[in-house]
Amino acid sequence: MPFIASQMKKVFFTPGPSEIFFTYNDHMRVALRQQIGSISHRSKDFESIFEHTTSQVSEVLQLPPTYRIVFAAGATEIWERTAQNLILETSHHFVHGAFGKKFHQVAQNWGKDAQLVNIENEFIPQETNADLIALTMNETSTGFQHHADNLEAMRKLNPNALISLDVVSAVPGMKVNFDKVDSAFLSVQKCFGMPAGLGVWILNDRVLNVAEKVGNKSYHSIPSLIKFADKNQTPSTPNVLGIYLLGKIAEDMNRRGLQAIQSEINYKAALLYQTLENHSKFSIAISEKKHQSKTTIVADCDDGNTRILDYLSKQGMILGDGYGDKKDQQIRIANFPVHSKEQVELLCDSLEKFR
């Protein structure tokens, strides 16, 4: 076992799993003392936890009041549940990288007529004839981020289609207008700063009609998830401890205020982009400025990423490598709510000194 307690606490700038939120360990201690791991998911105590977590997450995401939150094991499960519940026949996937592409693959594997459009740089809103349109707010593999206007434009051009939005590494690091989409989902190991093992699925009223028409009968079908959520419960035993901790972290974020969190994200992103742009060894991967992600900064390295990753790792800073065929060429830097201004400034100082 290589888990020898290191003397130096590392800072994880990896784009999920990432650094753990700074209040997480304290909330865990309280949860263990209060024996949250032992309570039944059919108890009143659990219903209170469910109610608390969904209302705190709704607040931090500024969800419209009719939108519901249900839980799954993670975003990968939600791709599959979306394909099982919300695609009558055809889906249309606008893809900016590996994660959008994987969702398309999941829909195809589930037997749907799933169309894929690769977007290289600029996203141009367009009409489609699909039942469901899949967009990725922030593509964690490439650092592409949608401009907020795109959601509204897509909605206007496709009033009858359902819009599914991947917000995995986007919220609550950036503002998303959820009223422009019908289904959205995330995993907690990104901007919420938690260990993996819990997915959050946001659903509006329109999805239930479609899901009932499609008629999937899984224990995690949308009608089943919603039926239980309306009682502050889940269809099967969930990650109770994870749901509790998510609620506490969302509460902390609400106390701080979404605006403070997001303006800090913007400041840190500006600093990171400036540092990388001014450095002779790096160039920003996404050329269109308005599509450069605020939460996942991706840069090409002049001659591979081995030296820079190693250089920073020795200073206790763990960056993400590139994704897929960019594995050895790019660096990916998570800029999540957990990463403090001071940590990012330190990282930028180190980047500047790198030769």
Per CB under 8 A, does 195 bind a copy of itself?
A: yes
Q: Which of residues 143 and 193 has its CB atom nearest to a copy of itself in the complex?
A: 193
Contacts of a copy of itself in 211-240 (CB under 8 A): 217-219, 235-240
Residue with tokens 């028409």: 213
Per CB under 8 A, does 1 bind a copy of itself?
A: yes
DSSP notation for 302-322: BTBSHHHHHHHHTTTEEEEE-
CA distances from 155 to 8, 138, 304 (A): 49, 18, 41
Beta pairing, strands 11-13 & 317-321:
parallel
* Choice from 23, 39, 311, 315 touching a copy of itself (CB under 8 A): 39
Q: Specify the DSSP class assigned to residue 21.
A: P
- Amino acid identity of 214? V
* Choice from 23, 59, 77, 152 touching a copy of itself (CB under 8 A): 77
Per CB under 8 A, does 315 bind a copy of itself?
A: no
Q: Cβ of residue 355: shortest distance to a copy of itself, in angstroms? A: 28
Per CB under 8 A, does 74 bind a copy of itself?
A: yes
CA distances from 8 to 77, 258, 306, 321, 346 (A): 35, 31, 21, 21, 16
Task: Give the range of 66-74, 138-146, 261-269, 305-313 binding a copy of itself by CB under 8 A.
Answer: 66-74
Q: Which of residues 64 and 111 has its CB atom nearest to a copy of itself in the complex?
A: 111
* Choice from 80, 113, 179, 345 touching a copy of itself (CB under 8 A): 80
Per CB under 8 A, does 136 bind a copy of itself?
A: no
Burial 306-322 (b: 16+ CB within 10 A, else e): eebbebbeeeebbbbbb
Single out the residue of 214, 205, 173, 270 nearest to residue 86, CA to CA.
Answer: 214
- Per-residue contact string for residues 100-129; x = within reach of a copy of itself by CB under 8 A: ------x--xx-------------------
The span from the CA of 118 to the CA of 130, in Å, is 16
Chain residues in the site for a copy of itself (CB under 8 A): 1-3, 5-6, 9-10, 12, 14, 17-20, 24-25, 28, 30, 32-41, 44-45, 48-49, 52, 72-74, 76-77, 80, 106, 109-110, 187, 189, 194-198, 217-219, 235-242, 318
